[in-house]
Chain A
Amino acid sequence: DAGVTQSPTHLIKTRGQQVTLRCSPKSGHDTVSWYQQALGQGPQFIFQYYEEEERQRGNFPDRFSGHQFPNYSSELNVNALLLGDSALYLCASSLAPGGYSSYEQYFGPGTRLTVT
């Protein structure tokens, strides 16, 4: 049973550039959430996708955008990168809304983004 996968593992970008991170959910899951984890902090919610639409969004600027594909995989795009965007970006998947189990989120290993 494949878990949540993310690519790439590491990424180095320059300020002002754009980046795309990718996520494939756990088998059987159709909801994908993205989190940003700065060094020494807990993850912060960016947004959540279900049925190819953004359903909820955290307190992040419009430079952060996403997409979900028909196969439930997802992308996180960040434009005009800032030094402060350096972080571990985590993808989590869960079941469709309905029942307690839909609240269980399973995380991938993350993508470490460094902005120089």
Chain B
Amino acid sequence: AQSVTQPDIHITVSEGASLELRCNYSYGATPYLFWYVQSPGQGLQLLLKYFSGDTLVQGIKGFEAEFKRSQSSFNLRKPSVHWSDAAEYFCAATPSGSARQLTFGSGTQLTVLP
């Protein structure tokens, strides 16, 4: 079955520290991959996406993600975290060629310490 796994339920970092959120996928073929962020009481905002090509993709708010086919991973990174980055982050995937049904991971809650 197709699935997306986010191994870390909750991560705490200090403001200014670097951040890496993990995401692994299980699909027969490489899917299209996405990271979304959700602030309390709000919908999901698209941070970045990967379709093909360059394995390091840049997104909004200073985030980037690296696709590693050998590890079936698509980890999200940020060099220096700001207090406003505290939120829940979701990794999502959809098979290429499909009708664009997203499968989400269970999310990682990010807490930022002052």
Contacts and interface: CB of A to CB of B under 8 A. Distances in A.
Given A55-B99, A100-B51, A104-B49, A44 B44 contact: no
B42 A43 contact: no
Contacts, number: 68
Given A41-B106, A42-B107, A90-B43, A103 B90 contact: no
Contacts of B101: 33, 45, 48, 56, 58
A55 B99 CA distance: 7
B44 A43 contact: yes
Please classify how large the interface on chain A is, using the bins under 10, 10 to 19, 20 to 34, 35 or more. 20 to 34
Interface in B78-114: 90, 92, 94, 98-107
B45 interface: yes
A109 B46 contact: no
A102 B103 CA distance: 16
B63 interface: no
A74 interface: no
A78 interface: no
Interface of B: 4, 32, 34, 36, 41-46, 49, 51, 90, 92, 94, 98-107
Interface of A: 4, 31, 33, 35, 40-45, 48, 50, 55-56, 58, 90, 92, 94, 97, 100, 102-110
For the complex of A and B, list the 7 residue pairs with the smallest distance between their C-beta atoms, beginning with the closest. A42-B104, A107-B43, A107-B44, A56-B99, A109-B43, A100-B51, A45-B101
